[in-house]
Amino acid sequence: MALPDLESLRELVNVRLDQLVPMGAQGGPAAAARYSLLAGGKRLRAIITLTAARTHGGKLETALDAACAIEMIHCASLIFDDLPAMDDAALRRGVATVHAKFGQDIAILAGIGLMNGAYEVLAKAQHTTEAQRLDMLRIVTRAVGWQGLVHGQALDLNSGESDAQIDAIHEGKTGALFIAAAECGGVAAPSVSEKDRRALRSYGRALGFAYQAFDDVLDQVVCDEAAGKTTGKDGGKSTAALGGEACIQSGTALANKHFDQAVKAVGKTAPLASLAEFIRRYFAATVAAA
């Protein structure tokens, strides 16, 4: 998949997100939500959804609202993750975090609004059947819930040192939403088999783990300005137990292992495999330039 195509998908998502979140009163929760949601971002999860749908014969318009809903949930998770009670970060996507600009109270309300707004978007997703909408809602709510983002964040606050604990954190904080993104794309297609859905879930999980492994490396080796967010927040956590060159080598090796698994899950010739390879190259180049 060529980079211009990725950029066109990203722009498609940005335009739709702008339509889905209300303007709101200046300084209010909706304004804070728009501030965070439209500040930028790779839109990677949304692009996974769109690419998965297209891979299985679906149209972009059928998967677009699901893709945007997942981005809204991801944005909400970032707002919560940055709060003083969590990572206490000051910078996200190159701008002040929502609580730093609007206050913690408005930030919490903005995150809740984005998450519930995402469910509404899924419930009314354009160009989809009732069965598709219900299926996507089930997938996404599971990804957010007790064994998804909530579980991963709780583990991260009290993380241990074992590989199993690290995997559980990554499964919840990152993998769950990547899995949902891939599977929702399949559901948005005209017909997708259970075998295909298993492959999409495997792909999403592996890609989420790869993304997290590289992100942990960048947290240690890239400055705030280059990363566009507050870095060094994982220094005392099990997700970044090593430092310096050892962190780069071990994190890169781990990421590559998971990238290989993602490609294997869908086949080397699949568009989703091309997307995984693009992300691999992007992160490798970013680490090399640090």
Question: Is the whole model's pTM more than 0.75, yes or no?
Answer: yes
Tell me the DSSP string of 63-74: HHHHHHHHHHHH
Q: Which two tokens stand for residue 222?
A: 């890239």
Number of domains into which the chain is organized: 1
Look at residue 236 and tell me whether its pLDDT is greater than 60: no
Residue 277: which domain range? 3-289
Confidence of residue 153 (pLDDT cuts 50, 70, 90): confident
pLDDT of residue 240: 47
Confidence of residue 185 (pLDDT cuts 50, 70, 90): very high
The amino acid present at 123, given as its one-letter code, is A
Residue range 117-127: mean pLDDT, rounded: 96
Q: Which two tokens stand for residue 96?
A: 């002040």
Do β-strands 91-92 and 95-96 pair in parallel, antiparallel, or remain unpaired?
antiparallel
User: 22 versus 62: which is more confidently predicted?
Assistant: 62
CB 16 within 8 A of CB 64: yes
Closest CA to 240 of 166, 165, 148: 166
User: 111 versus 216: which is more confidently predicted?
Assistant: 111
CATH number of the domain within which 35 lies: 1.10.600.10
Residue range 272-286: mean pLDDT, rounded: 92
Confidence of residue 32 (pLDDT cuts 50, 70, 90): very high
